[in-house]
A = this chain, B = another copy of it.
Amino acid sequence: MGSFRGHALPGSFIFFTGAWWTAKCILKYACKKHKRTSYLGCKALFQRIEILEGIILICMALTGMTGEQFVPAGPHLVLYDHKEGQWVQLLSWHHFTMYFFFGLLGVMNILCFTISSLPTSLTKLMLSNAFFVEAFIFYNHTHGREMLDIFLHQLLVLVTFLAGLVAFVELFTRTNVIVELLRTSLVLLQGSWLWQIGFVLYPPSGGPAWDPNDHDNIMFLTICFCWHYALTFIVIGVIYAFVTWLVTSRLRRFCPSEVGLLKTADREQESEEEMRF
């Protein structure tokens, strides 16, 4: 993974997963609001989507795992070189383990939505575990590297840990769109931050890497991290607008009279909620 592409590829993967989760979460929220019309169709649809998601996650994890193992410089499934008396390519094995846990998440997704006796919150638990394991591995990943490299990975650990924490908290609260969006915003941030790491450590322009001992670089990356975070909110806002427009327009096409009714109902419900303020 010690290359620009090695950071940009998983970064893109995580970013699009985050964007997809955001869309799914907003879609569910919007469907719930328009419950009376399209809900029953949604239910079966979402179940199939979850299983599909599981399959995609497993495919991605398998790709990542084989990629880490069988690139030319990879360990080729050898863990310990008995001749040399040393471990083989432990950093690749680290990435391999991370992918493995995301694969487990995919397996659990499929199991929970096909076997009806399993509680569906098991997927939340596995998601939280996958993030915690990732944070734990990245935390022990940067021994002996430069200050700048360590700082970049520490921020990655921070955002991964927070994503795991939010997923863990979701185990205990009833479904809450705000908390789910917070989690997906952290996943988006993780994806875009991997791109940033690639840009800083392996500039794709071919120019020299940033000075790893200049503290000003760290000062800049601190605010750069915050800007990335602000960006994720814009991404979420765009997805929100798009999904809401989609749900509303699709409803209008099929049952235009009902939308007017729903809007009134929504506003009533909303005003009830605000009563509680």
Binding site for B on A (CB under 8 A): 28, 33, 43, 46-47, 79, 86-87, 90-91, 93-94, 96-97, 100-101, 104, 116-117, 119-122, 124-125, 129, 133, 136-137, 140-141, 143-144, 169, 171-179, 181-182, 215-220, 222-223, 225-227, 229-230, 233, 244, 266-267, 270-271, 273-277
Whether A178 lies near B119 (C-beta < 8 A) is yes
A177 to B119 alpha-carbon distance, docked (Å): 9
A173 to B91 alpha-carbon distance, docked (Å): 39
A220 to B81 alpha-carbon distance, docked (Å): 13
A198 to B267 alpha-carbon distance, docked (Å): 48
Whether B101 lies near A230 (C-beta < 8 A) is yes
- Knowing A86-B216, A97-B226, A226-B137, the reply to whether A104 touches B233 (Cβ < 8 A) is yes
Whether A179 lies near B175 (C-beta < 8 A) is no
Q: Which residues from B are CB-within-8-Å of A233? A: 104
Q: Which residues from B are CB-within-8-Å of A176? A: 171-172
Q: A96-B223, A116-B267, A116-B270 provided; 13 other pairs, C-beta below 8 A? A: A33-B117, A43-B277, A46-B277, A47-B274, A90-B219, A91-B219, A94-B222, A97-B226, A97-B227, A120-B273, A125-B181, A141-B222, A171-B178
Q: Which residues from B are CB-within-8-Å of A124? A: 178
Whether A122 lies near B226 (C-beta < 8 A) is no
Whether B101 lies near A266 (C-beta < 8 A) is no
**8 closest pairs, A vs B, by CB?**
A140-B222, A90-B219, A97-B223, A116-B270, A87-B216, A97-B226, A121-B178, A133-B226
Whether B179 lies near A87 (C-beta < 8 A) is no
A39 to B241 alpha-carbon distance, docked (Å): 33
Whether A143 lies near B43 (C-beta < 8 A) is no
- Knowing A172-B169, A215-B144, A218-B143, the reply to whether A277 touches B120 (Cβ < 8 A) is yes
A174 to B173 alpha-carbon distance, docked (Å): 11
Whether A125 lies near B266 (C-beta < 8 A) is no
Whether B125 lies near A182 (C-beta < 8 A) is yes
The residue in chain B whose Cβ has the minimal distance to the Cβ of A227 is: B97
Whether B137 lies near A43 (C-beta < 8 A) is no
Q: Which residues from B are CB-within-8-Å of A174? A: 276
Q: Which residues from B are CB-within-8-Å of A216? A: 86-87, 90
Whether B90 lies near A230 (C-beta < 8 A) is no
Q: Which residues from B are CB-within-8-Å of A219? A: 87, 90-91, 94, 140, 143
- Knowing A117-B33, A178-B122, A215-B144, the reply to whether A275 touches B104 (Cβ < 8 A) is no
The residue in chain B whose Cβ has the minimal distance to the Cβ of A122 is: B178
- Knowing A219-B143, A277-B120, the reply to whether A171 touches B179 (Cβ < 8 A) is yes
